[in-house]
Amino acid sequence: MHRQSAKSITLTIFALLWLVAGGVSAQVPKTALAFKPDAPDRYTVVRGDTLWGIAQKFTDSPWRWPELWNLNKDQIKNPHRIYPGNVIVLDRSRGRLALDGNTVKLSPRLRAEATAKEAIPSIPPHVIEPFLTRPLVIEPDGLERAPHIIAAEDGRVVLGNGGVAYARGMGESKEPSWLIYRRGGALVDPDTKLTLGFEAVYLGTARVTRAGDPAKIELTSVTQEVGIGDRLIPAGGLQIVNYAPHAPAAGLKGRIMSIYGGVGRVGEAGPHSIVTLNRGKADGVDVGHVLALYRDTTRVVDRTRPKGAPDSIVAVPGDRYGLVFVFRVFERVSYALVMQSSAPVRALDLVQTP
């Protein structure tokens, strides 16, 4: 009997060590997906809806969208195309959503105009569109070889809307529209202190009015003053984010490095703000990942101890207070939209698998 107990204990310890070492996904099993008591049995999709918003109508866990629709990993990256007029039905017996075959019929003209671009997006597109085409992160020497402004037509030092300038380095490019940038502040990992890249400071747009070397360009929209030496990057096309919201398959932890538009680590943010995370593609982050926001652990002094006793420092774990949705991923850095927040979002706050 004693021998069997020792064997049982040994096997238990071995199993725990295997889990910690990553023998299987060492995550706490998810609780059953709970639908809101007032969740509708049927919902007709309208223009302006998002996957996130629709999920919130049925459950308080919108990042569990794949479970709502019984999606596999491949389908997560190419979710069901849901259009205005579709009717979503809640199957309470099976605990999932489905599209009703008897969907609301749109007029022939609207049906003919229905394209992938009009499919319901994951999150509000107007908030993130400016960030979908801009290279938000630059490698240390990432702009050194990019085309650059060498002079203004009238000899000015700074340029604004409508300004005309000359640029070198475009070569044989046929791209008519360009984005104007300069290198910004360093993105430093708050944990390792390593520089992961530099933020790209967006200055505006320009169009080529005469090709060549130098090429003649006109500034079509300027958000900050443009000067000699500023760099040009092809505008490219807009990439619509239509990944189903979902939690990472494995445990993932990181921090907010900065709040976009803030100064260093100063400032706070709320819902629909953009934050920079110190985790990227190399760490397993993917577009569509949803991460929970936590305050970091704080240490407080226990002042209830007897007089004369040494101070006792107590670690107080931080509380979860919100969710972010990752929409742009670079090698070591990613950008996320704050979807929910019950407290101000701050730089250095923690993010992790919900």
Among the ranges given (216-230, 251-265, 337-351), the one the predictor scored with the smallest mean pLDDT: 251-265
Tens of pLDDT, residue by residue over 32-83, are 788 999 999 999 999 999 999 999 999 999 999 999 998 888 888 888 888 9
pLDDT band at 210 (very low <50, low <70, confident <90, very high): very high
Domains in the chain, CATH or no CATH each: 42-127 (no CATH), 134-234 (2.40.10), 253-352 (2.40.30)
Residue 244, CB half-sphere, CA atoms under 13 Å: how many?
24
Tell me how far apart the alpha carbons of residues 6 and 9 are, in angstroms, rounded to a whole number.
5
- Predicted model pTM: 0.76
Mean pLDDT of 263-287: 85
Q: What percent of the chain has pLDDT over 70?
A: 83
pLDDT digits (tens, 9 = 90+) for 300-348: 777 777 777 777 787 777 899 999 999 999 999 999 999 999 999 999 9
Measuring CA to CA, how many Å separate 147 from each of 173, 224, 230, 261, 321? 11, 19, 9, 25, 44
- CB atoms under 10 Å from CB of 222, counted, come to 18
pLDDT band at 113 (very low <50, low <70, confident <90, very high): very low
Average pLDDT score over residue span 119-136: 82
Using alpha carbons only, give the angle 39, 40, 42 rounded to the nearest 5 degrees: 145
Q: Which residues pair with 87 in a beta bridge?
A: 44
What CA–CA distance (Å, rounded) separates 147 from 137? 17
Continuous H helices in 59-211: 65-69, 73-77, 108-113, 125-132
Q: Which helix (H) or strand (E) holds 338?
A: strand 334-341
